Structure 1
């Protein structure tokens, strides 16, 4: 018998095994590590931007010393949050317009971190890490990684680092959405209640969770779990009762919004017209007009996103975006619509999926988003932000 017939071919080489990570991050998945690495690098970029702003805008043209680095983060709404956390409500004008969730967390962190600004930045830093992990898991795989990158390079991404509510809200809202998709309605309702304590947008999230429950199929919709989705109303009712006890006004929050931010109801076409006039009529300073132009673009982007979600029959996410657009689009003029884009996770997941299908889209997005992100960060950190 020919010996060649008895020859046994050598076994193919074993495929390389992924290296087991060592150190404190070994419990994280590969997706988590990639996302958190991107998160840390973008935080470093914002720190460099803040350092440069403190020197480029020291307060006086002939200044020989830069501003303290922390001072560039002490802008706009941060003053309200710190005052509420330190002294309670009614110590600044229209402080009732701010929900108590962030000030309460800030006060708790301040017990350990003596500096108020550092405490606020720490809250946003930790919350942001939780939020981007949840976003990556919602979008999944390479889409999740790309969605996180686009979010962190978005024009208003500086607000995810500042002592503002966006990061804390997302750290509660995105895990709530993820829990709902997994059929864990108790956790979803509890996290959404926390989100509602932070921003009124939590009510929009709660409405979306209810729709998600109603359209759920199979065993993920158990009617005995439905009462959990009423939890998000509790913080709003408690805060409303507190304000009524102090002011005698059941609508104190809304009236503070109207006094301070012109959020009295106006038909959508009037809000568009007023914003358009502020953007292009030449009656306002160029910087404010630019911000109004950004408000208009963000509203158009939101309407496009809404149309896309409705076309895809993604009813729950469409309701969340629609309620946000209605709330922001029925004031005297648009305020904070670009900031609201940070909270539209379907937008970043959708753009990520689109960019992965077309490298050209990736280049366009990065070349547009990165400069705008830096521009908006400089505007905010230098005290030139409006909107």
Structure 2
């Protein structure tokens, strides 16, 4: 088969086209005044982009906060010599390649699923000078390697992805769960051993390299962890409710972070279900789903126990939507949710449980909180479930995708305003 006609290539072109169209529409809507700001070199250089660029240009500086970021993305930026627009184009290509790997791993060719993935509100991070696109590419290669049983490819991708973000606390437990739950209970010790040399070894090797790299440049051991703890408050603490966001975030995107926490909690529940089935020697889900659920579940633990508390001493869940939803692991999880069908009674139970869950986020303190957290999420989730549960409601896919897409455009505008957007 010619590469230009392969499903991999078609998925790559589809995602690449979406990324290019995303920027074209930003310019078009800005010209027509439907959106307020044109993307440019100045406003794309916002928030964490400043830190990545400083590492790319000057390396780590022990007196600044840029030690709170991992090395691979700024290193590639330095080696490429790209300007802001060049690195944005590079990230679009990385994301499109990862999208193709993930589509190939899951054997997905449905364009509606493609659009559901691509239009996710948090997806605009893939098109910025952030690490999301590179993380997505390497994470998708890991999922592909697991599905295709390519251990060497998985080892390389794990080593590289562990230089992009702090992945050890999520991926090590996720891989352990994957190996345990996909093999007979009596072989548990073999699963643990296999997890060690196949998955834990490359993660720890990369982490060790990163720690030494920062020490050589700054003279500070474990500089990343010290910066995260002292500057951004990422230290262990017990969760405090209601969960909040940074100043101004409650009105703009707290609903999306609440949705991310819900997804992560559902992943944890399904992982516990897999544990029970494993203990009872019953059939289990495939490896990629267990890995995805494990990653999201451990991310929930990190968000609840390692995120900062500010003045009111409640848990701040900033970063939840970015780190949960803009990942290949959520794409796998969402694809699995697309196969769920609910009866009318089950839909009613889901609706009632959802509205109880939003209490954790202060959704009923004010009318504004209710419609910006509970109402938006209720409409989005129930519309999605109706679409997947009843053939006659298949048309509901289009309002879900349209809503997601315009929120994605809007959040990008907030980023370049610049308003902090998780």
| TM-score of the superposed pair, with normalisation by structure 1 | 0.76
Say which of 336, 339, 364 aligns to 1:350.
Answer: 336
Q: Is the 8 A contact 2:175 2:195 kept in 1?
A: no
Say which of 335, 354, 362 aligns to 2:318.
Answer: 335
Shift of 1:35: 1.9
Q: Does 1:138 align with 2:105?
A: yes
Say which of 307, 315, 330 aligns to 2:269.
Answer: 307
1:374 maps to: 409
- Give the Cα separation in 1 of the matches to 2:114 and 2:257: 23
Distance change in 2, residues 1:360/1:309 (3 Å): farther
Q: Does 1:69 align with 2:73?
A: no
1:6 maps to: none
Q: Spell out, residue by residue over 1:79-113, the C-alpha distance to the aligned partner (whole angstroms, 9 max, x if none).
A: 11111010001177321110001011111111xx4
Q: Spell out, residue by residue over 1:209-232, the C-alpha distance to the aligned partner (whole angstroms, 9 max, x if none).
A: 3443444559x9897896242112
- Give the Cα separation in 1 of the matches to 2:219 and 2:30: 44
Distance change in 2, residues 1:124/1:202 (3 Å): farther
Q: Does 1:295 align with 2:257?
A: yes
- Give the Cα separation in 1 of the matches to 2:271 and 2:326: 17
Q: Is the 8 A contact 2:176 2:192 kept in 1?
A: no
1:241-256 matched pairs, under 5 angstroms: 241-244=212-215, 249-256=220-227
| TM-score of the superposed pair, with normalisation by structure 2 | 0.71
Which SS does the other structure have where 2:419 is aligned? coil
1:231 maps to: 202
Shift of 1:30: 4.1
Q: Is the 8 A contact 1:53 1:382 kept in 2?
A: no
Q: For this pair of structures, how many residues does the alignment match?
A: 341
Q: Is the 8 A contact 2:214 2:220 kept in 1?
A: yes
Q: Is the 8 A contact 1:153 1:370 kept in 2?
A: yes
2:398 maps to: 363
Say which of 213, 232, 238 aligns to 1:267.
Answer: 238
Shift of 1:118: 2.6
Q: Does 1:176 align with 2:142?
A: yes
Q: Which runs of 5+ in 2 are unaligned?
A: 185-189, 275-283, 309-315, 341-386
Shift of 1:155: 0.4
Q: Which runs of 5+ in 1 are unaligned?
A: 1-19, 21-25
- Give the Cα separation in 2 of the matches to 1:342 and 1:179: 20
- Give the Cα separation in 1 of the matches to 2:103 and 2:76: 25
- Give the Cα separation in 2 of the matches to 1:34 and 1:251: 43
- Give the Cα separation in 2 of the matches to 1:53 and 1:363: 21
Q: Is the 8 A contact 1:185 1:225 kept in 2?
A: no
Shift of 1:369: 1.4
- Give the Cα separation in 1 of the matches to 2:88 and 2:260: 26
1:326 maps to: 301
Q: Spell out, residue by residue over 1:129-179, the C-alpha distance to the aligned partner (whole angstroms, 9 max, x if none).
A: 111001212221345x54432221000111111111111011111111211
Say which of 84, 90, 113 aligns to 1:123.
Answer: 90
Q: Is the 8 A contact 1:172 1:191 kept in 2?
A: yes
Which SS does the other structure have where 2:326 is aligned? helix
Which SS does the other structure have where 1:71 is aligned? coil
1:13 maps to: none
- Give the Cα separation in 1 of the matches to 2:317 and 2:169: 20
More displaced stretch, 203-212 vs 186-195: 203-212
Which SS does the other structure have where 2:162 is aligned? helix
